[in-house]
Structure 1
Amino acid sequence: MGLRRLLFIFWVLCRYRLDLLLPVERLPLGIRILFKLGPWHLLGKRNLSRGERLRLALEALGPVFIKFGQLLSTRRDLLPDDIALELARLQDRVPPFPSDQAVAVIERSLGSTVAALFESFQQEPLASASIAQVHAATLPGGKQVVVKVTRPGIERVIAQDVRLLQTIARLVHRFVPDGRRLRPLEVVEDYRLTIFDELDLQREGANTSQLRRNFLNSDLLYVPEVFWDYTRRSVLVMERIHGIPVTDLDKLHAQHTDMKKLAERGVEIFFTQVFRDSFFHADMHPGNIFVAEGRPQSPQYIAIDCAIIGSLSDFDQYYLARNLLAIFQRNYREVAELHVECGWVPPETRVHEFEAAIRSVSEPIFEKPLAEISFGQVLLYLFQTARRFDMQVQPSLVLLQKTLLNIEGLGRQLYPQLDLWNTAMPYLERWIKDRYSPQSMLRKVSHRLPGWLEQLPQIPETLLERAQLQPQAPGQSHVQQRLDQLEAKLQQRQRQGASRLLGLVCGVAAVVVAQPQLRHGIDHVPAASAVLLVLSVYFFLRGN
């Protein structure tokens, strides 16, 4: 199966003459001869432009390749205009599958006929993408909705492509000099999980509902409602939205949209999703983003297609924020130290050399609008820096990096003069400050306190069980006595630590409870705060 798929990919590349897009003169002599003698010269579609040939080839190869083309389409600074315009057609204009197949999937999934389920159903699809297509419909009662249906047989095609990617990843890992650092096996595994999750429309519905709750009543972002009674693994029904495609600049200008504010709000939405919620839309190509009509001076985004959602651990979230903030503040020493501290580069890395390398990459891009920044050159420098210092690819951050590419490409189209750094830096500073405020610390402690209190009575017994030793042989009584003394000290220190922890918790709680009233004088301190303060002192004394 893998060999047949590989031969099909090779045939598609030949059929659409993608060899003409390659720098053949730079390839080894044997491969150049193969290109010259190959039979594909007779198959090539010479009457098509290079952009059309590339787009048609990606469409023929299927979802994995289409998504790669979607990502490329957002990088107008890295592609010629003719290729970028053609690849943009991959966002929502992939050739549809027959409507009778879509109806069959809907009726099989929902257990009833389309006529009984919907007041009206439009046979012609509104849009068609790599994995699913969308039909307009009306629910009983008149609510306008869209019905998303997965392509029949799509799982088999994706499984074949993923196996091919895994084979390529193993070859890269084994034979490419940078293979170990790039961690291709882990990256492909993350992609496998992501794309198979995307096939489950019920999971997409859950992601959509969560993102809608996160931005409910927000002026920044609107997310449509999901209708769960009509949603299954292969069918998703949600509210139909009416907005302007984010790439339709003529319509946006016609309604006098504040493009600067629109671009800035896009950056704010991204950082809010990543740092406030740790739940971010990770497929933000222009086909999934719209702008609400009728509010040009306070533009609001509309997001659809929440199949791919990214999330960061507290560890990655913290180090990412501190790294970005340090870069924005041009504190390259801290950036280098943070990379070593969190393990993104080997511990033996020479910090001063790494600092100098980061400075050489970052300095040229500050205080410039997007239109004046060569991100292609920046990415090249970053890759060279990463290779020099053996910086490993972090699979958990791959989705975030992909989303950053989409966001930057979108910002370039909307408002090339956007100052990305001054827009993002205040948000990061505020997030760091809020993360370690007394209120935030109290929320974290309150969230964990029930679990700590539940385990507290078991600590002495657990310590005793773990400290028990096997019976000692004759002549080891002195060693056993010394071990018993160490065990007793350990238990005492554990009890002291537990008491001090409870004292700290009570102290923080007392400060937070009393904070709103302290400005009125000591007489206005609440009784609850006083009790917590007494408990704090008691536990601290007990722990000493």
Structure 2
Amino acid sequence: MIVLLRLLTILRVFLRYRLDQILPTEQLSLRIRLLLLPCKLFPTPSLNRGERLRRAFEDLGPIFIKFGQLLSTRPDLISDDIVRELNHLQDNVKPFDANQFRALVELALGAKVEDVFLEYEQEPLASASVAQVHGAVLKNGQRVVIKIIRPGIERIIAQDVQLLLHLAQLVEKHSRDGKRLRPVEVVEDYRITIFDELDLQREAANASQLRRNFANSPLLYVPEIYWDYTCNNILVMERIHGIPVTDLAALNAQHTNMKKLAERGVEIFFTQVFEHNFFHADMHPGNIFVAEEHPELPQYIAVDMAIVGSLTREDQYYLARNLLAMFRRDYRQVAELHVQSGWVPAHTRVEELEAAVRTVCEPIFEKPLKDISFGHVLISLFRTARRFDMEVQPQLVLLQKTLLNIEGLGRQLYPDLDLWTTAHPFLERWLKKRFHPTTLWSELKRYAPEWMEKFPQVPHLVFNSLEQLQNLGEVAPQLQDIRAQLERNDRKRIHRRRGAVIALLAFGGAIAIAWPDIGDAVVRSVDEVTQTDIPVGSYILAAIGVAALWFRR
């Protein structure tokens, strides 16, 4: 009953915002188009399609809001105008009862709030779609925040995800473009992401790793996690005080060096991706603050590390070289790197891919570098490669979304930000460092114990491989003999079958010659068409029989 009511709610919102007009109708099956016909009875809202979709998600509640946020990370699948609108989705969710929050805290900690905290704030600091945050003070005087997962949210998420999955299956089945867009895969990604966000210990571990990576760094500060009070459904971390990164008035009031602030954001991104290979993948403005100290050398503060990303060493290398080759306009190398990395199939014609990349990039690079969007160049590049059967690379999509956030934020802080001026020397240094003797020596030391452990087995493995090759060489002639025998048997079987058919035809022809009336009865229609008294059917069967006997010889 609950599921049915939820379906009716979704249908009502669908009709209210006429979401049928967003669907690519020409690509849908006839059955789905007929089902959508009654939608035309409802008025069309004056909003554009991106606003309609955003408001529909907001009306459907926190789970659909989160799904909309995930869709905004897929510019490879969703149109730009819809992505821009979905980026505005915020978690302005009504907080749940403060007494219930307190009870959940005490249940998670196994103790009364007064026994753990010196002070505890009844009013929430923030209320999001899956969690709520209150302020507190530990017994040692440390100011902290307490984050608790909303009660019953797991059941609601499971129901909504199941409904989304059914809708995705319908789209994939009844849309010509459904398989390319892979809606089922998108929903599965969402399911994994949203359930990962429900594990606060996982988020705490991500925050702890990020904090360690930037320990004593002037670029980024990450709050400390208090593990004695943290588990899968409660997180207690240091309370930070900073200026929201979008509060330009407050930043200007303290004379923040906006150019430096924007450049440091870019530097943080590339440091996370290439130096640490562990990046905060949800760096929207609500999760980023600026420390009030040292406005001339501003420092970022990051919170909410539920979503993080990393790349393989190969992806790191090919991505860095791709970016350098792109901005040098070496499109041949861009095409070659796509093939070498396995992002496009090995059979791809490099010349065709090179021409396609040139067609996309040349108009972009005719602009001044400060006017070029690094993130949009990557999106254009991936979309072009998709024509050559490039599969969606989830780790790269997450990366490009993070880059778009960082770049957009940087341009908001300092409109003349030239991202390439900051990124280019960083990538050059990283590639040189990657092949520096000290780096190679570090890699050798890292993997040496594993190699030494396996080294005694090498002679045995080599001997076994050679023995298998020798056995294969001995077996090969026997396999060839068996194959030849099978082919001979197949030929004999076909020959016998053909002989039986020919004998049957010959027998039929003989009967037709002996008893012409039988042949006429079998193919009386032929006689009727010719309208003659000659027994045509008899002669046709007789001719077939004679021809069969002739070719049988």
Q: TM-score range by the shorter chain?
A: 0.7 to 0.9
- Aligned partner of residue 390 in structure 1, secondary structure: coil
Aligned: 1:388 with 2:387? yes
Q: Could you tell me which amino acid in structure 2 is paired with residue 274 of structure 1?
A: V
Deviations 1:485-533 (A, max 9, x none): xxxxxxxxxxxxxxxxxxxxxxxxxxxxxxxxxxxxxxxxxxxxxxxxx
Q: Could you tell me which amino acid in structure 1 is paired with residue 448 of structure 2?
A: L
Q: Distance in 1 between matches of 2:24 and 2:356?
A: 33
- Aligned partner of residue 133 in structure 2, secondary structure: strand
Deviates more, 1:363-372 or 1:144-153: 363-372
Mapped contact 2:374–2:407 kept (Cα < 8 A):
no
1:292: which partner in 2? Answer: 291
- Residues paired across the two proteins, number: 466
1:536: which partner in 2? Answer: none
Q: Distance in 1 between matches of 2:311 and 2:293?
A: 35
Q: Could you tell me which amino acid in structure 2 is paired with residue 292 of structure 1?
A: A
**For 1:61-100, what aligned pairs fall within 5 Å after superposition?**
61-70=60-69, 88=88, 90-91=89-90, 93-100=92-99
Unaligned runs of 5+ in 1: 481-544
Deviations 1:376-397 (A, max 9, x none): 9868855762443222211232
- Aligned partner of residue 124 in structure 1, secondary structure: strand
Aligned: 1:259 with 2:263? no
Q: Distance in 1 between matches of 2:221 and 2:446?
A: 30
Q: Distance in 1 between matches of 2:175 and 2:72?
A: 28
Mapped contact 1:178–1:387 kept (Cα < 8 A):
no
Q: Are residues 408 and 31 of structure 1, via their aligned partners in 2, closer, same or farther at CA, if it must alter by over 3 Å?
A: farther
Shift, 1:374, TM fit:
7.6
2:485: which partner in 1? Answer: none
Q: Could you tell me which amino acid in structure 2 is paired with residue 411 of structure 1?
A: G
Shift, 1:165, TM fit:
3.8
- Aligned partner of residue 65 in structure 2, secondary structure: helix
1:144: which partner in 2? Answer: 143
Aligned: 1:105 with 2:109? no
Shift, 1:335, TM fit:
0.7
- Aligned partner of residue 141 in structure 1, secondary structure: coil
**For 1:146-161, what aligned pairs fall within 5 Å after superposition?**
146-161=145-160
Shift, 1:471, TM fit:
12
Deviations 1:237-290 (A, max 9, x none): 100000010111111111111111111111111111111111110111111000
1:408: which partner in 2? Answer: 407
1:37: which partner in 2? Answer: 41
1:243: which partner in 2? Answer: 242
Q: Distance in 1 between matches of 2:239 and 2:385?
A: 45
Q: Are residues 315 and 173 of structure 1, via their aligned partners in 2, closer, same or farther at CA, if it must alter by over 3 Å?
A: farther
Deviations 1:34-91 (A, max 9, x none): 23424xx6xx999x9999986664334234432355578999x9669xx96x974x54
Q: Could you tell me which amino acid in structure 1 is paired with residue 11 of structure 2?
A: F
2:304: which partner in 1? Answer: 305
- Aligned partner of residue 125 in structure 1, secondary structure: strand
Mapped contact 1:201–1:232 kept (Cα < 8 A):
yes
1:337: which partner in 2? Answer: 336
Aligned: 1:9 with 2:13? no
1:462: which partner in 2? Answer: 461
**For 1:121-520, what aligned pairs fall within 5 Å after superposition?**
121-366=120-365, 368=367, 372-373=371-372, 382=381, 385-468=384-467
Mapped contact 1:263–1:414 kept (Cα < 8 A):
yes
Mapped contact 1:25–1:32 kept (Cα < 8 A):
no
Q: Are residues 421 and 175 of structure 1, via their aligned partners in 2, closer, same or farther at CA, if it must alter by over 3 Å?
A: farther
Mapped contact 1:369–1:417 kept (Cα < 8 A):
no
Mapped contact 1:368–1:419 kept (Cα < 8 A):
no
Deviates more, 1:110-119 or 1:208-217: 110-119
Deviations 1:298-347 (A, max 9, x none): 11110000111111111222222221221122211111111112221222
Q: Could you tell me which amino acid in structure 2 is paired with residue 412 of structure 1?
A: R
Shift, 1:195, TM fit:
2.1
Deviates more, 1:416-425 or 1:199-208: 416-425
Shift, 1:434, TM fit:
0.6
Q: Are residues 220 and 378 of structure 1, via their aligned partners in 2, closer, same or farther at CA, if it must alter by over 3 Å?
A: closer
Q: Distance in 1 between matches of 2:87 and 2:322?
A: 33
Superposition TM-score, scaled by structure 1 size: 0.75
Largest Rg, 1 or 2: 2
- Aligned partner of residue 18 in structure 2, secondary structure: helix
Shift, 1:375, TM fit:
8.8
Q: Could you tell me which amino acid in structure 2 is paired with residue 105 of structure 1?
A: L
Mapped contact 2:261–2:298 kept (Cα < 8 A):
yes
Q: Distance in 1 between matches of 2:40 and 2:198?
A: 41
Q: Are residues 409 and 22 of structure 1, via their aligned partners in 2, closer, same or farther at CA, if it must alter by over 3 Å?
A: farther
Q: Are residues 126 and 376 of structure 1, via their aligned partners in 2, closer, same or farther at CA, if it must alter by over 3 Å?
A: same
Q: Distance in 1 between matches of 2:310 and 2:130?
A: 22
- Aligned partner of residue 391 in structure 1, secondary structure: coil
- Aligned partner of residue 119 in structure 1, secondary structure: strand
Q: Distance in 1 between matches of 2:259 and 2:59?
A: 38
Q: Are residues 368 and 245 of structure 1, via their aligned partners in 2, closer, same or farther at CA, if it must alter by over 3 Å?
A: farther
2:484: which partner in 1? Answer: none
Shift, 1:126, TM fit:
0.7
Structure with the greater relative contact order (CA < 8 A, sep ≥ 6): 1 or 2?
Answer: 1
Q: Could you tell me which amino acid in structure 1 is paired with residue 95 of structure 2?
A: P
Q: Are residues 299 and 347 of structure 1, via their aligned partners in 2, closer, same or farther at CA, if it must alter by over 3 Å?
A: same
Mapped contact 1:205–1:236 kept (Cα < 8 A):
yes
Q: Are residues 70 and 454 of structure 1, via their aligned partners in 2, closer, same or farther at CA, if it must alter by over 3 Å?
A: closer
Amino-acid identity (%): 62
Shift, 1:94, TM fit:
2.5
Q: Distance in 2 between matches of 1:165 and 1:32?
A: 18
Deviations 1:417-460 (A, max 9, x none): 21122221111111111111101111111111111112222222
Deviations 1:391-428 (A, max 9, x none): 22112323223222322322232222211222211111
- Aligned partner of residue 122 in structure 1, secondary structure: strand
- Aligned partner of residue 8 in structure 1, secondary structure: helix
Mapped contact 1:119–1:140 kept (Cα < 8 A):
yes
Q: Are residues 59 and 112 of structure 1, via their aligned partners in 2, closer, same or farther at CA, if it must alter by over 3 Å?
A: farther
Shift, 1:357, TM fit:
1.6
Shift, 1:188, TM fit:
3.8
Unaligned runs of 5+ in 2: 479-553
Q: Distance in 1 between matches of 2:306 and 2:375?
A: 28
Mapped contact 1:211–1:223 kept (Cα < 8 A):
yes
Q: Could you tell me which amino acid in structure 1 is paired with residue 215 of structure 2?
A: L
Mapped contact 1:204–1:305 kept (Cα < 8 A):
yes
Q: Are residues 26 and 243 of structure 1, via their aligned partners in 2, closer, same or farther at CA, if it must alter by over 3 Å?
A: same
Q: Distance in 2 between matches of 1:167 and 1:401?
A: 28
